Amino acid sequence: MNISSIAKSIVAGVAAGSAAAVTAVQDNVLTTGEGVAIVFAVLGAWGITWAVPNRQASQDS
């Protein structure tokens, strides 16, 4: 299966953003700082996941 770096980055961003959002709204209030933390979590996940190259498939048959 061949998954592109863009698809992996999107999934990682959604996962990181949702995890940060769930943590942020535990008290039913979303502050500006928590919103910024969510944005940084998404951007960080996108950047790191996109920057790390996919491992090359082995040629074993």
- The three-point CA angle 30-43-29 to 5° equals 5
Asked if residue 3 has pLDDT above 60, the reply is: yes
Higher pLDDT, 40 or 6: 40
pTM exceeds 0.85, yes or no? no
- pLDDT at site 39: 95
- pLDDT at site 32: 95
CA atoms within 13 A on the CB side of 7: 5
- pLDDT at site 58: 73
pLDDT digits (tens, 9 = 90+) for 16-51: 999 999 999 999 999 999 999 999 999 999 888 877
Neighbours of 24 (CB within 10 A): 17
